[in-house]
Amino acid sequence: VNPKEELRRQEQDSMTFRELGMGPYLDLVKTTCRHWRKKLQQLERVWLPAIGKKRVRDLTPSDFETELQRLSRRGRTGSTINRHRALVHHMMNYALRLGLVDSNPVARVPRRKEGAPRDKFMTDEQMAAFIRETENCEPTSGAILKVLACSGLRAGEVMSLALSAIDWQESTIYL
């Protein structure tokens, strides 16, 4: 066996979760994820204090489940807990690709149920204030904002409208 390869294998076997997260994994997400600072914040606040000293090879589903339960007890929603789970799942998939683990222990940790997405609506007062503010815009921008606010159309739909798609007498827009 090549001594350099043996030394590399020993280093991999002893790599801690902190070393993975703050080393190769952080390098990866900095170049592939525009929200890498949020991931770093999650690592530093939740995962490194809890399991940072453990060897990556020794981590179990229970290690991750324990922290997710702690987040739940602290009042985090199912979707927030799932974002944390997704982070460590991705990190452990990367560890798998590097040969640090034989399987991803997070894959055996169930996702949390998420609440239904909220529909968001402006109150009548908010709508009136918004329409007033559009008067301060350049006329075309103001008109686009009014159509967006009052029609429920998507931005792309409004931007692709032609004047011929608007029936002014019937107050109707044809898509």
110-156 pLDDT, tens digit per residue, is 999 998 777 778 899 999 999 999 999 999 899 889 989 988 888 88
Length of the chain: 175
pLDDT at site 6: 61
pLDDT at site 171: 85
pLDDT at site 3: 64
Helix or strand (DSSP H, E) at 128: helix 124-134
In one-letter notation, the amino acid at residue 74 is R
The distance of Cα 5 from the centroid of its chain, to the nearest Å, equals 37
pLDDT, tens only, 36-80: 999 999 999 999 999 999 999 999 999 999 999 999 999 999 999
Torsions phi, psi for 44 (to 5 deg): -70, -35
Interatomic CA distance for residues 171 and 150, integer angstroms: 12
**Average pLDDT score over residue span 20-36:** 94
DSSP-assigned letter for residue 165: G
pLDDT, tens only, 95-109: 999 999 999 999 999
Stronger pLDDT, 9 or 151, i.e. the higher one = 151
Q: Does position 8 have pLDDT exceeding 70, yes or no?
A: no
pLDDT at site 13: 78
pLDDT at site 90: 97
Interatomic CA distance for residues 22 and 8, integer angstroms: 18
Q: pTM for the whole thing?
A: 0.65
pLDDT at site 119: 76
pLDDT at site 161: 87
- In the chain the beta strands, taken as DSSP E runs, fall at 166-167, 172-173
Name which of 113, 111, 107, 11 is nearest 59 in CA terms.
107
pLDDT at site 108: 97
Stronger pLDDT, 16 or 153, i.e. the higher one = 16
pLDDT at site 73: 96
